[in-house]
A = this chain, B = another copy of it.
Amino acid sequence: MLKPPMIVLNVKTYTEATGINALILARLMEKISKETGVDMAIAVQASDITSCAKEVSIPIYAQHIDPIKPGSNTGWILPEAVKTAGATGTLINHSEHRLKLADIDTCISRARDIGLDTLVCTNNVATSKAVSTFSPMMIAVEPPELIGGDISVTTADPDIVRNTVKAVQTINKTVKVLCGAGVKNGKDVAKAIELGAEGVLLASGVVKAKDKEAALRDLISDI
């Protein structure tokens, strides 16, 4: 399990992090994580899990799993398949891949049963509270309108972070709360921690940065 403050990088389907580029980025994160002692995980495309997991020691996450069991599910993402490929955790219900309520429940249960970390994305305080009743390992609250934007959630809407932390704690104190959307630099991460979050989930701030190493180092410069 990741220990706070944790940095989870979701590389989406960006060209800058597909195939060999995913591996290069994973190696970079591994280097920085080792040097600094800050826990980092990278969520890569399903087809990139095997190569990243084979060569890199930081946690490799899937970006999504489907609420299925082994069987007739052509083209869907089997939890056991990403685990076997080397993933140690998975995002669930990302803003770009929302799930039905019953399927979030199933995905968390299935992931827990086979030993995958669970990081469930949510869009506001209310859905974060609802998800916390399922006891995932982590919840990352991300206001959809701020995702991919220039202003960090910690600046644009600090209350959503603060109130999510409070709401989740009323239900289940073991769930770690992360925040995301627009997070780009060390100041944003420091503010997230100050607001009660135990880490951040981010994507373009690193993946689209010209100098990815500098972006990663800056991220953790204030913690």
**A interface residue numbers (CB < 8 A to B):** 10, 12-15, 18-20, 43, 45-51, 62-64, 68, 70-78, 80-82, 84-85, 91, 93-105, 122-124, 126-127, 129-131, 133-134, 147-148, 171, 203-204
Q: Can you tell how many copies of this chain the complex includes?
A: 4
- Is A12 touching B72 in the complex (CB atoms < 8 A)? yes
A156 → chain B closest CB, angstroms: 18
Distance A122 CA – B195 CA, assembled complex (angstroms):
34
A72 → chain B closest CB, angstroms: 5
Give chain B residues whose Cβ lies under 8 Å from the Cβ of A15: 70, 80
Distance A28 CA – B10 CA, assembled complex (angstroms):
36
Which B-chain residue is minimally distant from A79 (CB atoms)? B13
A78 → chain B closest CB, angstroms: 4
Q: Which 5 A-B pairs have the closest CB atoms?
A: A64-B75, A19-B84, A46-B46, A63-B75, A47-B85
Also in contact, A81 and B18, with CB within 8 A (given A12-B74, A104-B101, A203-B72): yes
Most interface-central of A82, A100, A124 (chain B CB within 10 A): A100
A164 → chain B closest CB, angstroms: 12
Which B-chain residue is minimally distant from A73 (CB atoms)? B13
Distance A13 CA – B47 CA, assembled complex (angstroms):
15
Question: What are 23 contact pairs spanning A and B, CB under 8 A?
Answer: A10-B74, A13-B81, A18-B70, A18-B78, A19-B84, A45-B78, A46-B47, A46-B77, A47-B81, A63-B75, A64-B74, A72-B147, A74-B97, A75-B91, A98-B100, A101-B122, A101-B130, A102-B123, A102-B124, A102-B127, A130-B134, A133-B133, A171-B171
Also in contact, A102 and B98, with CB within 8 A (given A10-B74, A71-B14, A130-B133): yes
A168 → chain B closest CB, angstroms: 11
- Is A127 touching B98 in the complex (CB atoms < 8 A)? no
